Amino acid sequence: MKIAVGSDHAGYEYKQFILKYLQEQNYQTADYGPYNTDSFDYPDSAHPLSNAIESGEYDFGILICGSGNGVCMTANKHQNIRAGLVWNNEIAGLIRMHNDANIICLPARFISKEEALEYVKTFLATAFEGGRHQTRVNKISC
């Protein structure tokens, strides 16, 4: 499985923490920045990461910013992206099961790094249920 990860400066430490775990688990990863804690605009990682998911270069994406909302709104501007904001483990599963989300968005200022990693694990381990949910997902794109 190939996973792209990006953030802004508020999510930098979380991004590094999650990337380390993913690499230890032998996932193929890409880091879409930032590469330090200097001020960094979240669209500068969210747009290229979303393009990589849309093109099929990567299977899933993980985006992190202070509230999780900025990266989520940016990613969802892309036609074939279904990004979901996650703040608990149940939602991490539901965005995959019911919405076929391909990007998880995390709020670094509101959850711990350990919680973020738990949510990522759930997101990656959960399959899309299809069925009645597929009909709904098909209606998302404009």
Give me the DSSP letters along 33-62.
S-SSSS---THHHHHHHHHHHHTTS-SEEE
To which residue do tokens 């709904």 refer?
136
Whether 78 sits among the annotated catalytic residues: the reply is no
Catalytic residue among 72, 78, 98, 142: 98
Of residues 9, 65, 72, 105, which has the active-site annotation? Answer: 65
Neighbours of 118 (CB within 10 A): 15
98 is catalytic: yes
CB-count exposure of residue 105 (10 Å: 0-12, 13-18, 19+): buried
3-class secondary structure, 63: strand
Nearest-angstrom CA–CA distance, 58 and 16: 18
Known catalytic residues are 65, 98
